[in-house]
Amino acid sequence: MSGTFDAIRFPSSENGTQIYKMLINGKWIESSNKKTFDVRNPYDGSIVGRVQKAARDDAENAVKSAFDAKKKIANMSAYDRAKILDKIADLVSEHKDDFVNVIVAESGKPVKVAGGEVEATIERFKFAADETKQITGDVLKGDNVPWHQEKIGIVIRQPVGVVLAVCPFNYPLFIGTAKIAPALAAGNSLVVKPASDDPICLFMLAKLMQDAGLPDGVLNMVSGSGSEIGDYLISHEKIDMISFTGSSDVGKHAAKIAGMKRLQMELGGKCPGLVFEDADLDMAAKECVTGALKFSGQRCDAISRILVAGKVADVFVKKVVSEVKKWKVGNPKDSDTLIGPMINETAVKKVDELVEDARKKGAKVLLGGNKGKGLFYQPTILDKVTTKMRIAWEETFGPVVTIIRVKNYEEAIRIANQSEFGLDSSVFTNGINKAIDAGLRVESGTVQINAAPAHGVGNFPFGGDKSSGMGREGVKTSIEEMTKLHTIVFNPKKPL
């Protein structure tokens, strides 16, 4: 790792393991209780580093720092905020290899996927810099009602204040950026809590944000247990908005304790891929497999159930088997590896339970179906899954292609909409009327036509319905969510 990051870490006196600090009020510090926890490489179990286990005092100091600094960023011109965001993008680009290596080590993500995550992070900051200059208000005349005809209203957007960003493990750098960049663009200060499984890359990002000229206190980053500091931060009265990505259960808990705060939540998913009789089956099979297996299926937008029309099911399934066999399992450092280890033992156990439940209830295992060495789970195809199996409804978060055969178009729509989740979905058809009809009727925040779900750099709004969340994300959309409308009304005919 480059010497640029020496300020955020120091070697342990015991064995030389790097110990990473937290960022509070512009200073890199240890936790007040001096406690740390290990971040381990999912591939081989080695220790990547130790990270601070923050106490409530640390969380309180982080909030106070963000609260005291919020005017620094709110009063900064949009031009200057945009310059900082552009500079961050440049610095991340300069240190791309450092970020890729750390993401591979702490998350087990294949190097190709990690490289894509860093590139998307760079683009997200650039996109946010551009949108910073496009934050506009409105001027309204009052003559559309009889009582205010002489009045004029000036409507502007102001930052909400202090944003708490709670980040997941699956895209540790990119999803953190997806919250941080628009929050800064809108003029907010931040408290960021990285995922405990792979927090180091976000601490590296915080250091580069300092180097880019971000004022002290505007960004604060604390690591530790969700039960110890997560609830404390979420319920804190000086937090104005929470941007949370994680499981539906934790998201619902957060919503209950948040109080009067703005909430932006991307939660669990059970994304369906609807494959109809008139679809291009070669393309549909490739997209569905990619949607199911990328990063071992550990994505809320993974295609975790494929609803395929019975008349083409046999042909489609053969194509799926052929595609899955192309996905090499191995060391995530190898450039040709497409599936690496899962994040932890709990994740592996959950996937195995779902597969075993389906197997016992009659699903046909065409490939895989077993745990591998360590934290690996074999890429698996389950055919003839029924709605009586847990895997038809529960979020899988693992490398499993789940195939449910349906009788017709209407049954596919019905089963797709029976899920408690509604984040993403994909529809595969060559019929324009069917694409439009399904696009309107499938109950999810985003419906992709002839493509796997992909949120990209946030140029399209995305987010979940039902138990998949609330609010919408995307660079421009997140900026709107992270600002509040402020209205000033004048009566020009009355003297000031």
pLDDT digits (tens, 9 = 90+) for 436-473: 999 999 999 999 999 999 998 888 999 999 999 999 99
Q: How far apart are CA 395 and CA 392, in angstroms?
A: 9
Determine how β-strand 364-367 pairs with β-strand 380-383: antiparallel
The pLDDT, as a whole number, for residue 458 is: 87
Place of tokens 């060391």: 331
pLDDT recorded at residue 148 = 80
Distance CA 29, CA 134 (A): 36
Helix/strand/coil for 254: helix
> How far apart are alpha carbons 362 and 357 in whole angstroms?
9
Instruction: Please give the average per-residue pLDDT across 8-35, as a whole number.
Output: 95
Tokens representing 282 are: 């070669």
Query: Phi first, then psi: what are they for 473, rounded to 5°?
Result: -120, -175
CATH number for 271-456 (one of 3.40.630.40, 3.40.50.2000, 3.40.50.970, 3.40.309.10): it is 3.40.309.10
User: Which strands, in side-by-side order, build the sheet including 22-24?
Assistant: 27-29, 22-24, 219-221, 189-193, 162-166, 241-245, 262-266, 469-470
Strands 303-309 and 400-406: what pairing?
A: parallel
177: helix, strand or coil: helix
**Residue 177 Ramachandran class (φ > 0 left, ψ -120 to 50 alpha, else beta):** alpha
pLDDT tens digits, one per residue of 196-244? 999 999 999 999 999 999 999 999 999 999 888 999 999 999 999 999 9
Q: What are phi and psi of 224, to 5 degrees?
A: 155, -170
CATH, domain 3-267+472-483, list 3.40.605.10, 1.10.579.10, 3.30.420.40, 3.90.1300.10 = 3.40.605.10
pLDDT tens per residue, range 342-399: 999 999 999 999 999 999 999 999 999 999 999 999 999 999 999 999 999 999 999 9
| H or E element, residue 36 | strand 36-40
Q: According to DSSP H, which parts of 151-280 are helical?
A: 172-185, 200-211, 231-234, 248-258
Q: pLDDT tens across 401-418, in order?
A: 999 999 999 999 999 999
Q: What is the DSSP string of 348-387?
A: HHHHHHHHHHHHHTT-EEEE--SB-STT-B--EEEES--T
Percent of the chain with pLDDT over 90: 95
Q: What is the CA radius of gyration of the chain?
A: 24
- Cβ–Cβ < 8 Å for 162, 70: yes
CB-CB contact of 127 with 465 (8 Å)? no
Reading phi first (left if > 0) and then psi (alpha if -120 to 50, else beta), residue 368 is in left
**Predicted pLDDT of residue 456:** 84
Nearest to residue 246, comparing CAs of 254, 235, 237? 254
Q: Is 410 helix (H, G, I), strand (E, B) or coil?
A: helix
Domain boundaries, the chain: 3-267+472-483, 271-456
| DSSP β-bridge partners for residue 221 | 23, 192
pTM, 2 dp: 0.96
Active centre residues (catalytic): 266, 300
What share of the chain has pLDDT > 70, as a percent?
100
Using pLDDT thresholds of 50, 70 and 90, give the confidence band for residue 147: confident
* Terminal-residue alpha carbon distance, the chain: 61
pLDDT over 80 at 142, yes or no: yes
User: Which pLDDT does position 243 carry in this prediction?
Assistant: 98
Q: List phi, psi (to 5°) of 454.
A: -160, 120
Structure tokens that stand for 426 in this block: 């994909």
Q: Are 342 and 374 in contact (CB under 8 A)?
A: no
Cβ neighbours of residue 192 under 8 Å, at least 6 residues apart? 164, 165, 167, 176, 179, 180, 202, 206, 219, 220, 221, 222
